[in-house]
């Protein structure tokens, strides 16, 4: 805090730091708190998305490797009839 409180309507007994501190904690209690089951569900969904992406990436890699192997095999058979 800067201590620049002139021009504000602060009573002589008010402590600006305490006012700010109390307002902060009272605002936190206004936030919505989601149930643990719902948060666990969201976490599971995020993990499932990551798993699906990993599976698709591995599938794409496997397809590329198989394409390369097939192309190499075709080239070798054409060279050695």
Number of domain units in the chain: 1
Report CA torsion sign: 10, 14, 16, 19.
negative
The verdict on residue 2 lying in a domain is: no
Q: What is the pLDDT of residues 54-79, one digit of tens each?
A: 788 888 888 888 888 887 766 666 66
Got the DSSP string for the chain? -----TTS---TT--HHHHHHHHHHHHHTTS----HHHHHHHHHHHHHHHHHHHHHHHHHHHHHHHHHHHHHHHHHHHH--
Q: What is the pLDDT of residues 38-53, one digit of tens each?
A: 888 888 888 777 777 7
The verdict on residue 9 lying in a domain is: no
The verdict on residue 23 lying in a domain is: yes
| 15-33 average pLDDT score | 76
Domain that holds residue 24: 16-79
């Amino acid at each position: 805090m800067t201590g620049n409180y002139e021009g504000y309507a602060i009573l002589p007994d008010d402590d600006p730091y305490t006012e700010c501190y109390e307002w902060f904690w009272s605002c936190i209690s206004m936030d919505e708190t989601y149930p643990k089951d719902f948060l666990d569900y969201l976490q599971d969904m995020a993990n499932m998305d990551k798993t699906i992406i990993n599976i698709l990436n591995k599938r794409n890699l496997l397809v590329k490797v198989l394409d390369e192997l097939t192309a190499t095999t075709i080239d070798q058979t054409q060279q050695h009839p």
